[in-house]
Amino acid sequence: MAEFDIKDLKRRMEGALDVLKKEFGGLRTGRASISLLDPVMVEAYGSEMPVNQVGSVGAPEPRLLTVQVWDKSLVKATEKAIRDAGLGLNPQVDGQTVRVPIPALDEERRIDLTRVAGKYAEQAKVAVRNVRRDGMDTLKKMEKDGDISQDEQRGHSDDIQELTDAEVARIDELLEAKQAEIMQV
C-alpha cells in the first residue's frame, strides 16, 4: 500500500520560494551587486549558461558591474543576453570585458523593477500551483488504484490546498516587501 507524502510537496513548494528569494536578490535597488546578473542566461556552445559560467562577474564601483568573458567568441552573446534580460541594463563591450553601468534609480526605473519583481512572484506562484496539481493527481491515482479511501483523498486534498494557500501568501508577503524596498528613495 502506497503512502502519501505531503512533506515532499512542502519541500518542492519551498524550493519555488527559494528560487524567488534568489531572483529578488538580483533585483538591487541602488548599488551594483553581482547577484543582479544571476538570472541572465547566455547562449553558449549550443545551450543556455548562467553568465557567471562564461566569465568573472565583478563590481569594481558602486554603479558599475563588469563581466570578464573567458572565451572571446562569447563576448557578443554575453552583451546580448544582459541587454535582453529585461533588467533595463545597457552593457558596453570593451575588449573581452562587458561593462554594465547601473543607472540611477529614477521613478520610472523603480516602477519597472517592481513589475519585474511581480513577474518573478507570479512565476513562483505558478511553480507552487504545479506542485499542488501534481499532488492532487497523485491522490486521485492512489484513490483510483484503491491505495487510499475517498475520505482520505479528500482530507489530503484539503491539506494540499492549505499548504498551497500558505505558500502563495508567503510569496505575496515577499513581493510586497521587495516592492516597498525598491520604491524607497
Q: What is the pLDDT of residue 29?
A: 62
- Residues 165 and 139: their CA atoms lie apart, in Å, by 18
Residue spans of the chain under pLDDT 50? 1
Q: What is the pLDDT of residue 1?
A: 43
What architecture is the 6-23+106-183 domain classified under in CATH? Orthogonal Bundle (1.10)
Q: Are 69 and 96 in contact (CB under 8 A)?
A: yes
- CATH dotted code for 31-101: 3.30.1360.40
Q: Where in the chain is the domain with CATH 1.10.132.20?
A: 6-23+106-183
pLDDT in tens, 107-124: 887 888 899 899 999 999
